[in-house]
């Protein structure tokens, strides 16, 4: 057993099989192929909404490209102080956005509250050329602390964001674990709750490397292909990424894997909580345990 991270485990056998199957014949490169096309339709079905979807190989790329497309360089991105985009991506959002500012917001157990966001936003005066312009609010679902936002919590935050003309971004590197924990529809905690753009990753739940940026309003995605290409994230054999994603989504595999991971985390957490002298730092609501 390896408790290091969800990246350290082997991937789902179904993913390897899909990669092998995808290799049966030739197909056009750079996403102009049937598998990628089918994957896009599958997402629209899964989210019960038209989406403009773009595949990339890493979660850092998915977040940073999405954020850069939602902020001007003189914008500010509000996120939890421990958010992966702020603390663990070596400044990727700043690089991709040409220097937008990440503004850390405090919050217990990795979660933002409307009150905390509003308090931080309050420091920024409106229409002042000396200050960066609040542009994006970013949530992580499930969070870096292993907790989960309920649909109503997402909606309250997205609503606050929209009232201040910020886009609502969700870092969904562990989106599957949140959907499994909440037993909800993917739509419930994304566009129906006001999320504008989702970085939806299935690498952590069982793919080799498959992440998608989903814009729920296609107008927001204008010119995004150039941004992706210029960042070196347009894979020539894109269809192998689409095939992985498709395999993970097929027959609810992603949710079965996520439920299993959540259950194992819960069991581990219960064990730790019961151990003398040990304590959990955060409630275990998804698949991460912090002791």
Site for a second copy in 1-30 (CB under 8 A): 2, 4-5, 7-11, 13, 16, 19-20, 23-30
Looking at the Cβ atoms of 22 and 188, the one nearer to a second copy is 22
Write out the binding residues for a second copy, residues 93-112 only, by CB under 8 A: 94-102
Q: Which of residues 253-282 bind a second copy (CB under 8 A)?
A: none
The per-residue DSSP string of 127-168 comes to: T-TTSPEEEEEEEESS-TTS----HHHHHHHHHHHHHTT-EE
Site string for a second copy, 55-84 (x = CB under 8 A): -xxxxxxx-xx------xxx----------
With the C-alpha atoms ordered 43, 47, 52, 53, is the resulting torsion angle positive or negative? negative
Does 131 sit near a second copy (CB under 8 A)? yes
| Binding piece for a second copy, criterion CB under 8 A, among 39-47, 137-145, 202-210, 283-291 | 202-210
Site pattern 111..130 for a second copy (x: CB under 8 A): ------------------xx
Residue among 19 and 189 whose Cβ is closer to a second copy: 19
Binding residue (CB under 8 A) for a second copy from 88, 250, 263, 271 = 88
**Please, are residues 62 and 56 in contact by the beta-carbon 8 Å criterion?**
yes
From the CB of 261, what's the least distance to a second copy, in Å? Answer: 14
Task: Determine if 164 is a binding residue for a second copy (CB under 8 A).
Answer: no
Nearer Cβ to a second copy (16/46): 16
Indicate the angle between helix axes 239-249 and 253-274, nearest 10 degrees.
70
State how far the Cα of 86 lies from the Cα of 32, in Å rounded to an integer: 34
Q: Are 127 and 169 in contact (CB under 8 A)?
A: no
DSSP 111: -
Interface with a second copy: number of residues (CB under 8 A): 71
Give dist(CA 11, CA 257) in Å, integer. Answer: 10
Helix (H) or strand (E) run with residue 119 in it: helix 114-121
- Interacting residues with a second copy between 228 and 257 (CB under 8 A): 228-237, 240
- By CB under 8 A, name the one of 111, 174, 192, 227 that touches a second copy: 227
The residue to which tokens 């309250």 are assigned: 156
């Amino acid at each position: 057993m390896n408790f290091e991270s969800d990246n350290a485990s082997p991937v789902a056998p179904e993913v390897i099989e899909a990669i092998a199957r995808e290799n049966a014949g030739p197909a056009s490169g750079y996403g102009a192929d049937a598998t990628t096309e089918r994957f896009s339709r599958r997402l629209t079905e899964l989210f019960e909404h038209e989406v403009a979807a773009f595949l990339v190989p890493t979660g850092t790329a998915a977040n940073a490209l999405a954020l850069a497309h939602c902020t001007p360089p003189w914008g500010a991105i509000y996120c939890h102080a421990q958010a992966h985009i702020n603390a663990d991506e070596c400044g990727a959002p700043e690089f991709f956005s040409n220097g937008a500012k990440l503004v850390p917001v405090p919050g217990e157990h990795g979660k933002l509250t409307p009150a905390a966001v509003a308090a931080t936003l309050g420091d920024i005066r409106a229409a002042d050329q000396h200050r960066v312009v609040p542009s994006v609010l970013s949530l992580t679902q499930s969070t870096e602390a292993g907790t989960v936002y309920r649909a109503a919590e997402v909606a309250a935050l997205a609503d606050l964001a929209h009232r201040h003309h910020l886009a609502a971004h969700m870092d969904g590197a562990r989106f599957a674990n949140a959907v499994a924990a909440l037993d909800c529809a993917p739509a419930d905690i994304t566009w129906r709750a006001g999320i504008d753009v989702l970085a939806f990753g299935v690498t952590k739940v069982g793919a080799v490397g498959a992440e998608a940026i989903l814009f729920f309003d296609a107008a927001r995605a204008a010119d995004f292909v150039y941004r992706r290409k210029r960042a070196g994230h347009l894979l020539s054999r894109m269809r192998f990424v689409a095939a992985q994603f498709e395999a993970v989504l097929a027959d609810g595999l992603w949710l079965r894997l996520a439920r299993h991971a959540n259950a194992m985390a819960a069991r581990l957490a219960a064990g730790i909580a019961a151990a003398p002298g040990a304590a959990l730092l955060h409630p275990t609501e998804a698949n991460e345990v912090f002791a």
